[in-house]
């Protein structure tokens, strides 16, 4: 058959499960966007910045809405998108990046946007391909999609030469696409060894990450049989329902909430599923991981990197959890009632400490998240950014369903939340997508609200407005008594809302939380984005922040520790 590369590319995108393509068209991709406009199964979405487009595509994948895709022009389009691509890479999120490429038929040098895109992309992708023949368009996109979704998922890039996209050429009819099978399956001998170790433990615990986000039911069965508490990583916050009696919290070390610290005290065997024990997830590597560690992950490279595994199982978390449940079927289940009661009491005490009394000048995080949870359905999605609000949400907002909490984690890129909320809303239009974002991160990508307005998306964006880069400001102020470059300019959130067509709501203190959220949700229900300007009170530090500071200070050499403490005392006392 003879057709353009653009039409071939769109056929391939439809076949691999892409339903939304985010980006900004340019001279190299005009034909691709024209073909997308005629497609039945793929919808092109114009964004205000390619970085926002990459975050939107990431959120589509995280939400379970098919393979997220961003289509950009070569050069600046790719470099703008690299932050979102790198976030997907370090967080293990499948993402298909399609770029235009320079023309090869002109015989000219120094063409517009002429950079080596594959070299730029290789450090933050699982694979990068350059297509220069029509016959290779479909097979290459199929290979890229399979690579993105197999093993540890991640982003891939396919560069399509401009002349291939524009001109007609010969190519075989596209074949059917066969997605890669779920896997790998676990080694039965290692499953038996893990089951024996866990069954013999007196106080086993379970720790789950994003890799186990689709294994919540199997993990619950394991927890109930073993009488084991379950903690999650930050990214994997939705991998286990927070209303389950054995859910303990985010992490379980010195940077965890009291319920998790209590539940995991004396833990003598740990089952870790779909996690890498990365820095944020472990509170700067402060987890007290026992020697009896069973570590399950699809990537064998993660084993024993930060904590030595007694039993390492290279496997998909869902398949491994099913196999462990079968191996433990003859083990007498333990009564978890006493443990569940201790967890519940500690949770209630911690949450009440955040909601006691009412502030008349600022909004307390505990009251805000309590009222937000009351107004969101279990299947709605909460999206957060990088900042102090991230850890407040992790500690104070119960997540009830898998894939319903989205957070930039190991790359930890500011500016994620607003565009990702748009992506989540497009991926799952039947449910609501709500964003909580710090004012610093809002400044980076808040103009994507125009995309939401243009599309008629009733997303709710709650800006935690304190005038500072709060997380770093806190880290600065305690040891340094200074706030260097962390105090923001005079941001008028109302002006951003007006400029982008969003409804604006000012939330000044605790007494207004319920009423303002009701009004904001009502505005969003009419298909208009709503922005809530939350005058947040950040005066109290999260358990995570306090724990991380303590953990890191404890590792300092004695001389440096004394220097840091002495300097802090001198500056705070003498000014």
Q: Residue 2: is it exposed, middle or buried by C-beta count within 10 angstroms (0-12/13-18/19+)?
A: exposed
- Quote the number of domains for the chain: 3
Q: Among the three residues 143, 170, 197, which one is the final residue of a domain in this structure? A: 170
Residue 565 lies in a domain: no
Among 461, 467, 457, 432, smallest CA distance to 532 is for 461
Distance CA 563, CA 409 (A): 32
Residue 89 lies in a domain: yes
Check whether residue 285 and residue 220 sit in a common domain. yes
End-to-end CA gap in the chain = 77
Residues of the chain with pLDDT under 50: none
The tens digit of pLDDT for each residue in 366-422 reads 999 999 999 999 999 999 999 999 999 999 999 999 999 999 999 999 999 999 999
Peptide bond into 184 cis (omega under 30): yes
C-alpha dihedral sign at 249, 250, 253, 255: negative
CATH number of the domain encompassing residue 379: 3.40.50.970
> What letters, b where the CB count within 10 A reaches 16 and e where it falls short, cover 55-87?
bbbbbbbbbebbbbbbbbbbbebbebbbbbbbb
Check whether residue 34 and residue 118 sit in a common domain. yes
Check whether residue 238 and residue 361 sit in a common domain. no
3-class secondary structure per residue, 259-307 = HHHHHCCCCCEEEEECCCCCCCCCCCCCCCCCCCEEEEECCHHHCCCCC
Check whether residue 291 and residue 387 sit in a common domain. no
Determine the angle formed by the axes of helices 543-555 and 470-480, rounding to 10 degrees. 50
Residue 146 lies in a domain: yes
Copy the structure tokens of residue 347.
């949770």
User: 71: helix, coil or strand?
Assistant: strand
pLDDT at 458: 98
Distance CA 467, CA 487 (A): 6
Residue 183 lies in a domain: no
Residue 265 lies in a domain: yes
Centre a 10 Å sphere on the Cβ of residue 37 and count the other Cβ atoms it contains. Answer: 11
Residue with tokens 């000219």: 108
- DSSP 8-state class, residue 186: P
Integer CA distances (angstroms), 182 to 298, 316, 319, 376, in order: 10, 7, 8, 32
Copy the structure tokens of residue 420.
């990702």
Check whether residue 223 and residue 297 sit in a common domain. yes
Residue 568 lies in a domain: no
Integer CA distances (angstroms), 239 to 209, 220, 303, 423, in order: 7, 10, 20, 20
- Which residues partner with 130 through β-bridges? 159
Strands 311-314 and 293-297: what pairing? Answer: parallel
Check whether residue 316 and residue 384 sit in a common domain. no
HSE-up of 26 (CA within 13 Å, CB side)? Answer: 21
User: 160: helix, coil or strand?
Assistant: strand
Check whether residue 366 and residue 278 sit in a common domain. no
pLDDT at 272: 98
- DSSP 8-state class, residue 110: S
Centre a 10 Å sphere on the Cβ of residue 482 and count the other Cβ atoms it contains. Answer: 11
Residue 118 lies in a domain: yes
3-class secondary structure per residue, 422-480 = HHHHHHCCCCCEEEEEEHHHHHHHHHHHHHHHHHCCCCEEEEECCCECHHHHHHHHHHH
- In degrees, rounded to 5, the angle at the alpha carbon of residue 243 between the alpha carbons of residues 337 and 535 is 135
User: How many helices and strands in the chain, by DSSP H and E?
Assistant: 22, 20
CATH number of the domain encompassing residue 210: 3.40.50.1220
Check whether residue 520 and residue 412 sit in a common domain. yes
**C-beta separation of 28 from 102 below 8 A:** yes
Strand order in the sheet with 269-273: 247-250, 230-232, 204-208, 269-273, 293-297, 311-314
Distance CA 271, CA 349 (A): 27
**C-beta separation of 175 from 45 below 8 A:** no
- In degrees, rounded to 5, the angle at the alpha carbon of residue 526 between the alpha carbons of residues 525 and 530 is 70
pLDDT at 103: 87
Check whether residue 361 and residue 491 sit in a common domain. yes
Check whether residue 42 and residue 148 sit in a common domain. yes
Check whether residue 324 and residue 192 sit in a common domain. yes
pLDDT at 479: 79
pLDDT at 358: 86
Q: What is the DSSP string of 485-540?
A: T-B-----HHHHHHHHT-EEEEE-SGGGHHHHHHHHHHHHHTT--EEEEE-B---S
Could you tell me the residue range of the domain that residue 237 belongs to?
A: 188-339
Distance CA 90, CA 138 (A): 27
Among 391, 397, 338, smallest CA distance to 367 is for 397
- DSSP 8-state class, residue 180: P
Distance CA 314, CA 28 (A): 42
The tens digit of pLDDT for each residue in 123-144 reads 999 999 999 999 999 999 999 9
Copy the structure tokens of residue 108.
């000219």
HSE-up of 574 (CA within 13 Å, CB side)? Answer: 6
pLDDT at 47: 98
Residue 558 lies in a domain: no
Check whether residue 362 and residue 282 sit in a common domain. no
Residue with tokens 């909460």: 382
pLDDT at 110: 86
Copy the structure tokens of residue 386.
């990088």
Q: Residue 493: is it exposed, middle or buried by C-beta count within 10 angstroms (0-12/13-18/19+)?
A: buried
**C-beta separation of 207 from 283 below 8 A:** no
């Amino acid at each position: 058959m003879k057709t353009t590369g653009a039409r071939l590319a769109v056929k391939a995108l439809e076949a691999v499960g892409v339903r939304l393509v985010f980006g900004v068209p340019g001279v190299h991709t005009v034909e691709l966007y024209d073909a997308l406009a005629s497609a039945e199964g793929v919808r092109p979405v114009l964004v205000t910045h390619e970085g926002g487009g990459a975050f939107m595509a990431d959120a589509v994948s995280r939400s379970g809405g098919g393979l997220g895709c961003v289509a950009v022009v070569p050069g600046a389009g790719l470099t703008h998108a690299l932050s979102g691509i790198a976030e997907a890479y370090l967080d293990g999120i499948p993402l298909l990046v399609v770029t235009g490429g320079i023309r090869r038929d002109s015989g000219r040098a120094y063409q517009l946007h002429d950079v080596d895109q594959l070299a730029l992309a290789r450090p933050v992708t699982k694979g990068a391909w350059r297509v220069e023949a029509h016959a290779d368009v479909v097979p290459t996109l199929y290979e890229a999609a399979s690579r993105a979704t197999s093993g540890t998922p991640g982003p891939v890039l396919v560069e399509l030469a401009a002349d291939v996209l524009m001109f007609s050429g010969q190519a075989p009819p596209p074949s059917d696409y066969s997605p890669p099978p779920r896997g790998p399956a676990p080694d039965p001998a290692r499953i038996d060894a893990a089951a024996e170790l866990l069954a013999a433990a007196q106080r086993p615990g379970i720790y789950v990450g994003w890799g186990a986000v689709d294994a919540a039911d199997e993990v619950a069965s394991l927890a109930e049989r073993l009488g084991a508490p379950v903690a999650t990583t930050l990214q994997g916050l939705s991998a286990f329902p927070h209303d389950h009696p054995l859910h303990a919290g985010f992490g379980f070390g010195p940077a965890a909430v009291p319920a998790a610290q209590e539940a995991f005290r004396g833990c003598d065997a740990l089952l870790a599923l779909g996690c890498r024990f990365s820095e944020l997830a472990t509170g700067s590597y402060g987890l007290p991981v026992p020697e009896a560690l069973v570590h399950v992950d699809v990537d064998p490279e993660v084993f024993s990197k930060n904590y030595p595994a007694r039993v390492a199982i290279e496997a998909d978390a869902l398949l491994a959890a099913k196999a462990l449940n079968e191996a433990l079927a003859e083990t007498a289940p333990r009564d978890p009632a006493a443990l569940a009661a201790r967890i519940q009491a500690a949770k209630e005490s911690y949450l009440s400490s955040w909601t006691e009394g009412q502030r008349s000048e600022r909004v307390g995080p505990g009251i805000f998240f309590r009222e937000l949870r009351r107004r969101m359905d279990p299947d709605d999605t909460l999206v957060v950014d990088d900042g102090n609000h991230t850890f407040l949400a992790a500690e104070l907002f119960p997540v009830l369903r898998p894939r319903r909490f989205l957070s930039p984690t190991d790359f930890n890129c500011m500016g994620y939340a607003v565009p990702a909320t748009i992506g989540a809303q497009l991926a799952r239009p039947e449910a609501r997508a709500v964003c909580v974002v710090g004012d610093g991160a809002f400044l980076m990508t808040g103009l994507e609200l125009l995309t939401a307005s243009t599309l008629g998306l009733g997303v709710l964006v709650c800006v935690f407005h304190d005038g500072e880069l709060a997380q770093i400001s806190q880290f600065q102020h305690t040891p340094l008594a200074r706030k260097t470059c962390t105090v923001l300019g005079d941001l008028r959130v109302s002006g951003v809302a007006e400029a982008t067509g969003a409804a604006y709501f000012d939330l000044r203190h605790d007494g207004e939380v319920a009423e303002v959220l009701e009004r904001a949700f009502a505005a969003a229900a009419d298909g208009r984005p709503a922005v809530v300007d939350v005058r947040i009170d950040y005066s109290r530090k999260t358990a995570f922040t306090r724990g991380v500071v303590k953990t890191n200070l404890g590792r300092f050499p004695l001389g440096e520790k004394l220097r840091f403490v002495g300097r802090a005392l001198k500056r705070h006392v003498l000014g």
